């Protein structure tokens, strides 16, 4: 069986990923591979499986909706769609939502919305930032290795050092449509900006009329201990983009924008986005996150204490530890001991476990990771 999948994959699937194991089942924070080995999953689809794997309430919501109507064109009112939009508006404090199928697509939508409502073309974003792989979202993604092979990209973007407000003030002017910013950089390895950074970005956007677009694709949906990471800062963005943890693994993305910023008829659309199943999964996910959110700071503190000797960067259940060249080896050691973690940018070990992870599981993760770090 194992061999079959590997052989088929090598023969028929484009080799864009490097992978070693096959996961076949999940429940809560646990997953099992095709050899029956059990792991505590601190990758969680890279911050996707917010409610853990196959949460019964999410499974039930998907099955229930699947029995009624699986798909419905956006030419009609879509079951669960407006209800989910209402929830996201309430949770962000913004005014209107629009759905997509992924994080990259949510950012693609934000680029279009910023351009069409400001009449401006240019953007600014930050070094080591990641916003997706579609041509627009890639244009505002810094990492040269993944962006440069696809240039020229049609969205001009100035990159400024993450945290550098003077640099941003120089880069942004009255032709800038928007500034893309992650409140914590996830793919870069859980990089936390200096205090006051988002407020400074807000002020520069206010001074120039550029829109502040906060990418909460990885940090959103309770990951950092609040619904959205920007809510730790007292700053309100113009547009927020969301995806990963929104529907526990069912593909969906969203952008939510302030009053007055909306697509008009015909300006944007998608066949599948905001479909009945995805919205059902998202509504159920929000219900579960509501239950577990108050406990995130306590779980976060447990991780912080457990990793104290490694100087971790932690916000809620988003954890980065600088490891350097040994990162892949540490990752493998953890896997061998039954804990899945991954290496994000620049040799940073990243842990983004399900928000439902238990204290016992946290303690096992701490023990295994500490032993692997040595
Ligand atoms: C901050 C951020 N934005 C956007 C994306 C792209 O999301 P997707 O892979 O769903 O297109 C990611 C994915 O890792 C991300 O971390």
| Lining residues, ligand 1, CB within 6 Å | 46, 102-104, 107, 130-132, 182, 186-187, 215, 217-218, 243
Which of 325-346 are b and which e, b meaning 16 or more Cβ less than 10 Å from the residue's Cβ? eebeebbebbbebebbbbbbbe
Look at the chain and count its residues: 374
Report the pLDDT value the prediction gives residue 5, as an integer from 0 to 100: 87
Structure tokens given for 257: 């924008």
Structure tokens given for 53: 């794997």
Q: In tens digits, what is the pLDDT along the chain, a chain of 374 residues?
A: 556 888 999 999 999 998 989 999 999 999 999 999 999 999 999 999 999 999 999 999 999 999 999 999 999 999 999 999 999 999 999 999 999 999 999 999 999 999 999 999 999 999 999 999 999 999 999 999 999 999 999 899 999 999 999 999 999 999 999 999 999 999 999 999 999 999 999 999 999 999 999 999 999 999 999 999 999 999 999 999 999 999 999 999 999 999 999 999 999 999 999 999 999 999 999 999 999 999 999 999 999 999 999 999 999 999 999 999 999 999 999 999 999 999 999 899 999 999 999 999 999 999 999 999 99
Q: Residue 63: enclosing H or E segment and its boundaries?
A: helix 56-68
- Tell me yes or no: is domain 57-291 CATH 3.40.640.10: yes
- Measure 1 CA to ligand 1 centroid, in angstroms: 31
CB 25 within 8 A of CB 32: yes
Atom of ligand 1 nearest to the CA of 133: 11
**Residue ranges of the domains in the chain?**
57-291
CB 187 within 8 A of CB 46: no
- Spatial strand order in the sheet of 342-344: 313-315, 318-322, 348-351, 342-344
Contacts of 112 (CB under 8 A, 6+ apart): 136, 263, 267, 268
Q: What residue owns the CA closest to ligand 1's atom 3?
A: 131
Structure tokens given for 261: 């910023």
CA dist., res. 277 & res. 80, Å (int): 8
Atom of ligand 1 nearest to the CA of 134: 11
CA dist., res. 31 & res. 357, Å (int): 12
Give the global pTM.
0.98
- Measure 104 CA to ligand 1 centroid, in angstroms: 6
How many Cβ atoms are within 10 Å of 374's Cβ, its own excluded? Answer: 7
CA dist., res. 67 & res. 346, Å (int): 46
């Amino acid at each position: 069986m194992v061999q079959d999948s590997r052989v088929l994959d090598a023969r028929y699937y484009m080799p864009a990923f490097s992978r070693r194991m096959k996961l076949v089942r999940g429940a809560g924070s646990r997953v099992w591979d095709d050899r029956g080995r059990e792991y505590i999953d601190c990758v969680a689809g890279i911050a996707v499986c917010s409610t853990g794997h196959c949460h019964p309430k999410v499974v039930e919501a998907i099955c229930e909706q699947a029995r009624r109507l699986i798909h419905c064109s956006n030419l009609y009112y879509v079951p669960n769609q407006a209800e989910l939009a209402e929830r996201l508006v309430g949770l962000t404090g913004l005014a209107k939502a629009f759905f997509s199928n992924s994080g990259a697509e949510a950012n693609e939508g934000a680029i279009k919305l910023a351009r069409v409502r400001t009449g401006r073309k240019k953007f600014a974003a930050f070094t080591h930032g990641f916003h997706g792989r579609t041509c627009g979202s890639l244009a505002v993604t810094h990492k040269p290795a993944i962006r440069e092979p696809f240039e020229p990209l049609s969205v001009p973007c100035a990159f400024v050092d993450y945290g550098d407000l003077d640099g941003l003030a120089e880069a942004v002017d009255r032709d800038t449509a928007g500034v893309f910013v992650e409140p914590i950089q996830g793919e870069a390895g859980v990089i936390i900006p200096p205090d006051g950074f988002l407020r400074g970005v807000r002020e520069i956007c206010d001074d120039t009329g550029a829109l502040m677009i906060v990418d909460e694709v990885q940090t959103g949906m309770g990951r950092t201990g609040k619904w959205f990471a920007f809510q730790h800062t007292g700053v309100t963005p113009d547009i927020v983009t969301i995806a990963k943890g929104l529907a526990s693994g069912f593909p969906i993305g969203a952008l939510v924008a302030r009053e007055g910023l909306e697509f008009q008829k015909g300006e944007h659309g998608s066949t599948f986005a905001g479909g009945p199943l995805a919205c059902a999964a998202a509504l159920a996910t929000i219900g579960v996150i509501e239950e577990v959110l108050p406990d995130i700071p306590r779980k976060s503190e447990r991780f912080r204490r457990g990793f104290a000797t490694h100087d971790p960067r932690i916000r809620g259940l988003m954890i980065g530890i600088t490891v350097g060249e040994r990162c892949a080896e540490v990752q493998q050691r953890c896997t061998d001991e039954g804990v899945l973690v991954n290496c994000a940018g620049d040799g940073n070990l990243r842990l983004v476990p399900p928000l439902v992870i238990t204290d016992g599981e946290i303690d096992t993760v701490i023990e295994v990771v500490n032993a692997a770090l040595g």
